[in-house]
Structure 1
Amino acid sequence: MEERQEWETDSEQEEDSKAKKKGSSLTKGYLNKVLSYYPFEVKDIRLLSSRSGRTTWEVQTAQGTKILKQAEMKANRMLFIADAHLHLQKNGLPIAPLYRTKNGGYCIGTKETAFVMYDKVTGNETIYYNKDQLSRALDFAGKFHVASKGFDAAEGAKTRGRLGKWHKLYRWKLQELEGNKQIALSFPNDPFSIMFLEHVDKMLERGRKALEDLNRPEYDQWVKQTIDEKSFCQQDFTFARLVDINQQTFMRELHSITYDLPARDLRIILNKVMKKMSVWDQDLAIHMLCSYDRVNPLTKDQYRVLWTDLAFPHLFCSVAHKYYLGQKRSWSDEKYIWALQNIIGVEESKDAFLKKFSDIVREIKNNNGGKSRGKKEKG
C-alpha cells in the first residue's frame, strides 16, 4: 500500500505552486517532511533537475547517496510503476534499488503528486553511436522483458496497458495524418507542407497496410501470451535512464511501464537509433536484434508483428503531429524541416529491410545459435 498524508495548509500549497513555476520545486520544510518517512539520516539535499513534470533531488544520507523523485501523478499511478520496479529488482534485473518507507510503503502520495526514493547509480553514459553499448542495451532490454514476467500489480494501483489496442492506435494516427494532409494542402507556400505532401500518400499507404496486417493471427496470439505471462514493457525505452558500469548496462530508474508487447519497446529503440543515424542501417538493426534474441528469443510469428509495427510510419506521424499542433515552440521552421527530412530518409531506407523479413529473421537466429521458443518454425 502506498502512504498518503495531507501535509500542506492552503498557504503552503500556494507557496509550493509558486515555487514550482520558478523551477525551484518544493520548500525545504516540505522535503524534510517527505524524507522523514524514510529510514535514513539525511545530511544534505541538492536539487538535480526539474522538468517535464518530474523533479529529482540528490540526498546525502549516512547510508549513502539516494535519489528522491517527485512526479506529477496520482499515488496509485506511481504505485503501479514502483511495484514494477520492485518486481524487476527481485527478479535480478540490474536496476537501482528502490526503498520502502518506514511503514513499508512503495511510494508517498499527496493529491496530484507522488514520491519514490532509490539509490544513486553512477556510470558511463549509454550512447546511441557506440555499437558495443547498443548491443549491451538490447541485451538489457531482453533481460527487462524476461524479468517483467509474472507481475501482479499491487492492490489499488492504477494500471495502464495497450494490449489488444494497436488497431485503435493505428486508426487514430492514420486519421490524424489524413487531417494533417488537408491542413498542408491549405498552405501551398509552406516549405514543410510542400515536403510533407510529397511523401504523405506513401506513408498513408504503408500505414493502412500495417493496420490490415494486424488482422493476422500472430498479433492476437502474442497478446494472449503476454497476458498469460503477466509481463510488461517500458513504454518509452530510452538510453537516458541507462548507464554503463564495467561494460554492463544498469538502469538508474524506472520512468514508466505499460502492459504491451515487447515489440513496442523494440520498435521504439530501433527507430530512435536509426533516427540518430539519419538512415536505416540494416546491419546495425540485425546486430541489435541478435543481442536481444540471445536473451529473449522471439518466434518468427512474433518477429512478423515487430515488422508490422516497424512498417507503420510512427516517426512520420509524430513529426507532422508536432508541426501542425505547434508542440515544439522552441523549434524553428528550419529545425522542423530538418527533422522531416531526416525521418523521410530513415523511412525510405527502411523499405529494403522490411522486404527481407525471412532472410533477416533467419540471420538473427543463426547469429544467436538458432535459439527459438515454442514449436520448430519453418524457414
Structure 2
Amino acid sequence: MLSTLLNKADNALRNNSVYSVTLKPQLAPSNDPHDFMSLARYFWPNPKKKNGLPYIGRDGYVNPEIETVKDYSLLRKLFKDVENLGFAYYFTRNDSYVEKSVYRIKEWFINPKTKMNPNLNYASFIKGHKSGRRTGVLDMHPIYRMLQSIPLMRSSHKWDLSVEKELKDWISKYYQWLETTSLGKDEKYSKNNHGTYYDVQAVYLLSYLDREEEARKYSREALINRVNKGILPTGQQPHETKRPTSWFYSTFNLQALFLLAERSQYFGFDGWNYVGPEGQSIRKAVDYLLSFALSNGKGWPFKNINGFEMNNFVKLLELAFVIWPDDKYLEALVILRPKAKLEQALEYRNADWEDNYLCVWSLMTNRQLWTCVE
C-alpha cells in the first residue's frame, strides 16, 4: 500500500523537467504565453474546408492533436505530484518531499517566467475560434488533489508560508474568474458532469481560501441539486447516458458525486445517504451501474462506443462497500477487481490501475477520499 505511494513520490522528487504553460509551441489568441491553453478533445478539421477551420465536433472521438499542447497534461502532473509528495511526507516526515512540492507550486503559480495566469480563457479551444469554451473549466477540476495535500505539509520546516500566501492570492483571483466570467458561469449551470465538477472545484477552492461557511452551504446545496436533477429514481444518470461514451461518463460523473458527498459529510451533511423527492440517491446510481458491470455491459440500453472499462468503477465500488457495508459490493469486487487489473495488463484504454487500499483506509479513518477518485 505505502510502497506504491512512495514510489510515485520518489519519481516526482527525481523529476527535474519544467512544468510551465510557457512551453507550448503555439500561443493562445491572446499571444500571452502565460495563458493556459488546451485543445477541444472531440473536435477535428472540417473536411469541407481547405484549411480545416473551424474544427467540427465528433463527440466521443478524441483527436490526438490535443497532445501537441501540453498545458493540460502538465497541469495534471503538477496536481498528482504535489498530492503524492504531500501524502508521502505525511507518512515519512521526509522534508525533501515538501521542498519539492513548494518548488512545483512556485514554478506553476508564482515564478514570473513560468507562471500560469489565473484564468481558463483558452481552455478547450476549438481551432478557428477566438476563445476557449466553458467546458474547459473541467481542465482544472483535479486541483482538489493539490489542495487537500497542502495541510499535511504545513508542519514541515520546508513549507514556505510566503509561497502559500501567494498561492492563495492566485486561487482567489481564479475563483473570482470562475464566478464572474461567462465561461465560468455557464459551466456552473451545466447539467452534466461539467457542472458537477464545477461544484467540486468551488467547494475545495472556498475551503482552501478559509471561506468555510460558504463552502459548507455550497457543498450541501450542490449535492442536493446534482442528485435531484442528475439521477433518475432508477439510478440512471440521464445527462451522461446521452453521450456516445455513456459508460465512461456515467462513471466519471459518479466520481464527482462521491467527491461532493465526502465534502458535504465533512461539513456535517450526510450526502452519502441523501434521498431526493423521487427516491434518487448516489447509492442508486452505484447500484444501477453495478448490474451492468457484472454482465460486462450486456443489456446496456445506450450508445457506448468505448466499451465497459472497470478500473474507475471498481475503485468507486471499493469505497461503496466502506460507505454502505453491503455484502453485495464485496461479492461484486471478487468478480470485477481481477477484470480491472487485467485492463492494466492489457493496457486497455491506458487503464491506470493501482491498489485502492490507501484511499479506503483514509475514508474509514477520517472520511477523506484522498487519492480515491480522479
- TM-score bracket for this pair, using the shorter chain length: under 0.3
Whose strand proportion is higher, 1 or 2?
1
TM-score normalised to the size of structure 1? 0.27
Bigger RCO of structures 1 and 2 (CA < 8 A, at least 6 apart): 1
TM-score if structure 2 supplies the norm length? 0.27
Higher helix share: 2
